[in-house]
Every structure is written in structure tokens, then in C-alpha cells.
Amino acid sequence: MSIIEAEHGTALPPSIRVRLAGPRDCEALAALLDDAAHAREQVLTWLETPGTTLLVAQSEIGVLGVAVLLTRIMPKAGGGMHKVVEVDNLVVHPDQRGQRIGRRLLAAAVEWARQRRAAQVEAVVGIGKARRFYESFGFAAAADRLVLAA
Ligand SMILES: CC(C)(COP(=O)(O)OP(=O)(O)OC[C@H]1O[C@@H](n2cnc3c(N)ncnc32)[C@H](O)[C@@H]1OP(=O)(O)O)[C@@H](O)C(=O)NCCC(=O)NCCS
């Protein structure tokens, strides 16, 4: 199944598409992750966990990237509850970076969240490249979160 993607001025070969991941993607997804020893277990856990969704960017040469999305129902600042989708992880194969594949995956993730009536999409990042990646898409820091190291 392809995800209908929002247009964000991306100029990629049409052969790249974004779709939901399934168990047969396990090896390809594990190869994208840094922690080789635990990658397969990590991917299997993601695939089996309710509320966790994996989108993959695929071309004729294989899986080029993955976005891991966590869906939660959270309290709203002004009261009530709303649906929040967090981009827990987004990785593009090191050989394929800088070709807007990450942006394409993020656009698909945002569209996936909109189709499910999520109120917002979040990403937790430090200072650095990943932050610039999200900011270049339009993500902005939110001031309503207080965090304490447990
Ligand atoms: C971050 C990551 C997903 C970006 O994927 P990508 O396909 O290379 O990124 P894109 O080509 O779609 O870049 C989109 C925009 O993000 C920004 N960007 C991407 N990589 C960047 C970098 N290394 N430094 C600064 N900005 C960067 C740029 O503004 C870029 O727009 P531009 O092409 O107009 O300059 C990829 O580098 C990656 O997998 N990194 C390791 C995992 C990681 O840190 N993930 C993010 C946190 S979960």
C-alpha cells in the first residue's frame, strides 16, 4: 500500500515510493540501523507493537529508508485529549542521503498522521543535523513541554 504523500517540492525519481513495512522487510530494515547486534530484535519489536507504524521508502534497488511512528492519545494543553504522532526514528541509508529521501519519508509520515486525524506530529531531537532536518521541513520547538530526567 502506498501512502498518499503531501507535496513538498521534492524532486525524486518516480520509482521511489513510501509504503507500510511488514515482516518481510525485517532484514532490510535491520541493515539500516546502527546497533547491528540488536537491530533485528528492535525491528521485530516495532513491527509487533500496537501503536507503532513503520513507513519505508522503497525503490527498485530496495529499501532506502524508514520512519518509525508512535501514535499516542495525549492530554491537550487546554484540556481534553488529542492524538499525537511522534517520529521516533527516521533513517536513510548512508549511501542515499542528501537526495531528499528523508524529506519524502517525513512528508509521508505527516500525511499518514493527517489521514488519521492526529492533532500534531512531534520529533524529539537534540541540537545538530537531525534538528536542522526537521526544522527545514517546518517543525518548530514547542514551549509547553517540561521534562525531568528520571
Ligand atoms: C537525517 C536524515 C534522515 C536526513 O535524510 P536525507 O535523505 O539525507 O535528508 P534530505 O535529503 O531529505 O534533506 C532534507 C533537508 O534536511 C536538511 N538536512 C538533511 N541532512 C542534513 C545535514 N546532514 N545537515 C544539515 N541539514 C540537513 C536540509 O535542509 C535538507 O534540505 P536541502 O536538501 O534543501 O538542503 C539522514 O541524514 C539520516 O538517516 N541520519 C541518521 C539518522 C538520524 O539522525 N535521523 C534523524 C533523527 S531520528
Per-residue pLDDT tens over the stretch 77-100: 889 999 999 999 999 999 999 999
126 found inside a domain: yes
Number of structural domains in the chain: 1
Residue 2 in any domain: the answer is no
Identify each DSSP E strand in the chain by its residue range. Answer: 17-20, 52-59, 62-75, 81-92, 120-123
pLDDT at 14 over 60: no
pLDDT digits (tens, 9 = 90+) for 41-68: 999 999 999 999 999 999 999 999 999 9
**pLDDT value, residue 2:** 55
Q: What is the pLDDT of residue 77?
A: 80
Residue 101 neighbours by CB distance under 10 Å: 20
Which range is least confidently modeled, 33-47, 96-110, 132-146? 132-146
Determine the pLDDT at residue 3. 60
Separation of CA 80 and ligand 1 centre (Å): 35
Q: How confident is the model at residue 149 (pLDDT cuts 50, 70, 90)?
A: confident
Instruction: Tell me what the pLDDT averaged over the chain comes to.
Output: 90
Q: Cα(75) to centroid of ligand 1, in Å?
A: 31
What distance in angstroms lies between residue 23's CA and the mean position of ligand 1's atoms?
26
Distances (CA, A) of 19 to 16, 55, 98, 105: 10, 5, 20, 9
Q: Is the CB of 132 under 6 A from ligand 1?
A: yes
- Amino acid 10: pLDDT: 47
**Ligand 1 in reach of 63 Cβ (< 6 A):** no
Q: State the pLDDT confidence band at 6, using cuts at 50, 70 and 90.
A: very low
> pTM of the full predicted structure?
0.90
For residue 104, the domain's CATH number is 3.40.630.30
Is there a domain that residue 78 lies in?
Answer: yes
- Residue 13 pLDDT > 70: no
SS3 92: strand
- For the cut 50, the answer to whether the pLDDT of residue 8 exceeds it is no
Q: Are 89 and 102 in contact (CB under 8 A)?
A: no
Quick check: is 35 in a domain? yes
Instruction: Find the domain containing 76 and state its range.
Output: 17-137
Q: Please indicate, yes or no, if residue 90 is contained in any of the structural domains.
A: yes
